[in-house]
Amino acid sequence: MKDGTSNDPANLDLSPADMQAMGNLVVARSVAHLAALDVHPILGDYTDIEALCRAMREAAPEQGSTLDALLDPLFDEWIPRSFGTSYPGYMAYIPGGGVYPAALADFIADATNRYTGVWQAAPALVQLEANALDWLRDWMQFPATTCGLFTTGGSMAMFNAIACAREKLLGHDIRSGTLYVTSQTHHCIAKAAKLAGIAHDRVRVINVDADFRMRVDELERAIAADRAAGLKPFMVFSTAGTTNTGAVDPIEAVADIAAREQLWHHVDGAYGGFFHMVPELRPLLSGLSRADSLTLDPHKGMFMPYGTGALLVRDGEALRALHASSAGYLPDNQNEFYDPAQYGPELSRGFPGLRIWLTVKFFGAARYRAALAEKRALAVWAADEVAKIPGIVMDALPQLSLFAFHLESPALDTLAAQNAATRALMDRITARGQVMLTGAMVGERFLGRVCVLSFRTRREQMETCVRQLAEESAVLLVEAAGRK
C-alpha cells in the first residue's frame, strides 16, 4: 500500500485509486472490529496502561508512513485497551451508540468537506440539518416557534441554553440571577452555568425525594427566599432521566412553578429525552414538551457516535437573538432558511446534521421507536429479575431504562461494608468480560446501576447480566459471611 511520502512533497492530494484502496482498508478494519466485538473482554487490558501512554509520546514525524502501519496498532492495541462502549453488554454509565450509517455519514461529510456554517455555502445540505432538527422538535412535541442547534454533546447544549435564558431574562444584570438544580442534576450544568457567567454561588441545589426526584416544595421555598433577598430567580432545570438513578423529575410540577414564577424551564433530556419518541412511553416524561428548552443527546438515545448533542429552544428567536451576528466578508443572514451560525456560537464547524439525517432516513423512525421501546422493556424485565436476587435491595426501579440497587445481608451490616460489596459486584461483573457495569455514589451510599441504552443490547445480554449479578452476589454474600 502506498505510503504518505511522495516525490512531490507539496502535493497532498491522492489519486482516486489510492483513495479507494485506503477507504477499503479502513472499512475492512472497522467492520472486522465490529464483527468481533464479543471476542475480546468488554473492558480492555489496562495493565501498565500508564507506561503504554508514556511510551506513545512522540514528536511529529517528518516523513509519512503507510496506512496499514498506522491502522495496525490502532485496531490491535489502542482501540481494544479502552471501555467497550460499543459492545452489546455495555450497560455502564449512560451507554453511547455508534450506529454504522452515522459513521458513513461522517465519512461523506469529511470527504466532501462542504461548509455548513452558513446557509449560502451549502443550502441543500443545511436544509438536511434543519430537517433533522425539525424531526427532533416534532418527536418532542415542541411548537413551530422552536429553533435548535446541534452541539457536540449535552454539556454544550446546556451552555447555550443557559446563555440564552440569561440573555433574555437577565440582560446585563447577570450577578443577581439565580438558577435551580437538584443534588442529582448532571454536574455539567453547574459547569455550563459558570461558563455562561452564572457563578457557583448563584446555583441553588434543591434536595430530592426518596425516588431521587426534585422536591418541588423546596424549589418554591428557595425561589421565595432568593426573591426576598433581592435576587432574581431566572432558570430552573429538571432532568428527564438522571445519570445516577434514571430519575425523572416532576416535570409538569416544575413547569407550573416556572410558568407562575416566570422562570425559564430547561429540561435535561440528555439521557431520557428520546423515549419521548415512543408514544406509549410519553406519559413517563409528561411535561417535557412544555419546557422552554430541552437538551437531547443523540449520542445516547439515538445511538449516534459520540459528539452529537442537540438543543431545542421553544422561543427560537431568543436563541437567534443571542447568537446572530454578521461580518462584511460573509453572505447576508438568512431569514427564510436555517442558518446554523445564527443559532450557535460556532462559525466553522463539522456537519453534525448529516449523521442524523442519513441514519434516520436509512432506518426510518419506526425502527428507532421499536429499539427504544425494547431497551425500556429489557430494563423493566431485568429490574424485576434482579429484585429477586438474595441480598439485592432495589434503590431505584426503572423510570426509563436505568435501575439502581445495593447489596445488603446480615454480614454486610454497615454502610461501608455494603458500599464495598456493591462496588465489588460491579467490578466482578465487568471483569467477567461480557457485561460492563458501573455504580455511583449517591450521598453516602454506593449504588450499583444497570443502564440499558446501547442499540446492541438485546435480551441475550440482559439474561447474562441478570445471571452474573445473581452468581457474583452469591459469592460476595458467602465471602462476607465467612469474614464475620
Ligand X SMILES: Cc1ncc(COP(=O)(O)O)c(C=O)c1O
Q: What single letter denotes the amino acid at residue 273? A: G
DSSP calls for 321-345: HHH----TTSPPPPSSS--GGGSSS
Contact between 94 and ligand X by CB under 6 A: the answer reads yes
Give CB contacts under 8 A, 24+ apart, made by 104-107.
104/358, 105/354, 105/355, 105/357, 105/358, 105/359, 106/305, 106/354, 106/355, 107/23
- Contacting range for ligand X; rule: CB under 6 A; set: 226-234, 263-271, 425-433, 434-442: 263-271
Contact between 268 and ligand X by CB under 6 A: the answer reads yes
Size of the site for ligand X (CB under 6 A): 14
Contact between 193 and ligand X by CB under 6 A: the answer reads no
- Contacting range for ligand X; rule: CB under 6 A; set: 65-73, 105-113, 153-161, 248-256: 153-161
- Residue number with CB closer to ligand X (301 or 316): 301
- Contacting range for ligand X; rule: CB under 6 A; set: 61-69, 151-159, 170-178, 425-433: 151-159
Contact between 454 and ligand X by CB under 6 A: the answer reads no
Contact between 97 and ligand X by CB under 6 A: the answer reads no
Contact between 154 and ligand X by CB under 6 A: the answer reads yes
Cell of 131: 430537517
Of 118, 165, 270, 322, the one binding ligand X by CB under 6 A? 270
The minimum distance between CB 448 and ligand X, in angstroms, equals 17
- Residue number with CB closer to ligand X (169 or 402): 402
Contact between 186 and ligand X by CB under 6 A: the answer reads yes
Residue (of 480, 484, 483) closest to 424 by Cα position: 480
- Contacting range for ligand X; rule: CB under 6 A; set: 75-83, 238-246, 280-288, 453-461: 238-246
**Are 297 and 308 in contact, with CB atoms under 8 Å apart?**
yes
**Are 150 and 129 in contact, with CB atoms under 8 Å apart?**
yes
Contact between 96 and ligand X by CB under 6 A: the answer reads no
Alpha helices in 229-302 (DSSP H): 251-261, 298-301
- CA-derived radius of gyration, the chain: 24
- Residue number with CB closer to ligand X (122 or 440): 440
DSSP-derived 3-state class of residue 281: helix
Of 178, 182, 238, 239, the one binding ligand X by CB under 6 A? 239
- Contacting range for ligand X; rule: CB under 6 A; set: 50-58, 167-175, 235-243, 259-267: 235-243
CA distances from 481 to 389, 409, 415 (A): 17, 9, 16
Cα 425 to chain centroid distance, Å, stands at 25
Of 84, 98, 148, 309, the one binding ligand X by CB under 6 A? 309
The minimum distance between CB 192 and ligand X, in angstroms, equals 9
Contact between 303 and ligand X by CB under 6 A: the answer reads no
- Contacting range for ligand X; rule: CB under 6 A; set: 100-108, 239-247, 390-398, 475-483: 239-247
For binding to ligand X (CB under 6 A), which residues are involved? 94, 153-155, 186, 188, 239, 242-243, 268, 270-271, 297, 309
